[in-house]
Structure 1
């Protein structure tokens, strides 16, 4: 919906979005789309001699893994963003800054993806550990920004649609805290043991967020509909 239309939107969670919240969502959707587009730029066809293309493509597996991991992470971030703001009825300057913090941290993922994929492909073990630390730190920063956003919404229930349960955003805040601990653990594991173990954690975290992209509260409600 364009910024000039006067009608409201209704999200899947039910609440009506006012024009200011709709504009915030439209801007954020554009940023997420740009971030996802930037991720694919790191996938370059190898320059090799005749008969060596297949081997070179296989040797680029770290770039493929990093791309898939970051793509899923950004995609799930977009789903989480929609799930959160479809429950927001009012907006304000503070909420807009929390939202900008989420976009700022997420926009660093293409850089971190490029660093870790190049380190795993061309670097020695020291470079690989550095690449893992860089990616993990960006993951920590993204988790902190989501934690701040969820904490703000949990503390300001007056901004939300009246039908939103009081427990929803506190549960989402806990989910963001899990991500923060997960990326911190990946940094520690990757630095002390091996970068490949950290890559596994990096891949598992977006999978966790994908399974809970509608919120932990909604997941529990589906498993126990009478509660």
Structure 2
């Protein structure tokens, strides 16, 4: 019994929502760890004749670029996830499904990374265009999943810590929209102009998200560190 005469036992309806939020975070961290581990499996030493190892390693540069881009992308997704749920006080089934949507889309990155790196390394221009389209579509899907999550949290401020400003998640929703437009642009540029330009965009977008992983206001702090 508690000091006020109430029971300390878990209510019949299930564990408290705060405990559910903790479980959600633990599960999500495990999924992100698996995804980021799977990325490295595409980096394999080339099988070559004697004296050709250095040349073969250099020829695999698309695989290295795809790995770096995807690693950064998964890393900033984890940072975004941490920044978002550090501000969430209560959970529920709807929020859990939005979270599963984020995990589902992010889990496709190892596949997309393998496709684009193999296409850039071994394929012709048609394969390279297909590869960047596949990767770009996964990027769009990830952005859409975050857009849905942020929109839900914007509409349900009652789930958040009371200290969270009301403008925070609308600004995060704008960040997700920037990603959606960025990956859509990469698809068009990579398919219609040059796949290498798409790879550059794929690398720049995670850098943008890493600079703003705690919110768009981080950009203002970087521009005005003493403001």
Q: Same fold by TM (over 0.5)? A: yes
Q: Summarize the alignment of residues 165-184 of structure 1 with structure 2, pairs less than 5 Å apart.
A: 165-184=165-184
Distance 1:160 1:226 in 2: 29
Residues matched between the structures, number: 212
Distance 1:55 1:41 in 2: 21
Deviation at 1:48, TM superposition (A): 0.3
* Counterpart position of 1:156: 156
* Counterpart position of 1:33: 33
Greater gyration radius: 2
* Counterpart position of 1:78: 78
State the secondary structure of the residue aligned to 2:111.
helix
Q: Summarize the alignment of residues 125-140 of structure 1 with structure 2, pairs less than 5 Å apart.
A: 125-140=125-140
Q: Output one character per residue of 1:144-197: Cα deviation in whole Å (capped at 9) or x when no partner.
A: 000000000000000000000000000000000000000000000000000000
Distance 2:201 2:156 in 1: 33
Q: Which runs of 5+ in 2 are unaligned?
A: 1-16
* Counterpart position of 1:105: 105
Deviation at 1:223, TM superposition (A): 6.1
Deviation at 1:217, TM superposition (A): 3.6
The alpha-carbon distance between structure 1 residues 221 and 54, as it changes in their structure 2 partners (threshold 3 A), is closer
Task: Report the RMSD for the aligned CA atoms in angstroms.
Answer: 1.8
**Is the 1:167–1:217 Cα contact (8 Å) retained in structure 2?**
no
Distance 1:34 1:148 in 2: 23
The alpha-carbon distance between structure 1 residues 47 and 171, as it changes in their structure 2 partners (threshold 3 A), is same
Q: Output one character per residue of 1:49-97: Cα deviation in whole Å (capped at 9) or x when no partner.
A: 0000000000000000000000000000000000000000000000000
* Counterpart position of 1:119: 119
The alpha-carbon distance between structure 1 residues 224 and 20, as it changes in their structure 2 partners (threshold 3 A), is farther
* Counterpart position of 2:90: 90
> Taking structure 2 as the reference length, what is the TM-score of the superposition?
0.90
Deviation at 1:224, TM superposition (A): 6.9
State the secondary structure of the residue aligned to 2:171.
helix
State the secondary structure of the residue aligned to 1:18.
helix
Distance 2:22 2:117 in 1: 36
Distance 1:48 1:218 in 2: 47
Q: Which runs of 5+ in 1 are unaligned?
A: 1-16
**Is the 1:168–1:217 Cα contact (8 Å) retained in structure 2?**
no
Deviation at 1:220, TM superposition (A): 3.9
> Taking structure 1 as the reference length, what is the TM-score of the superposition?
0.90
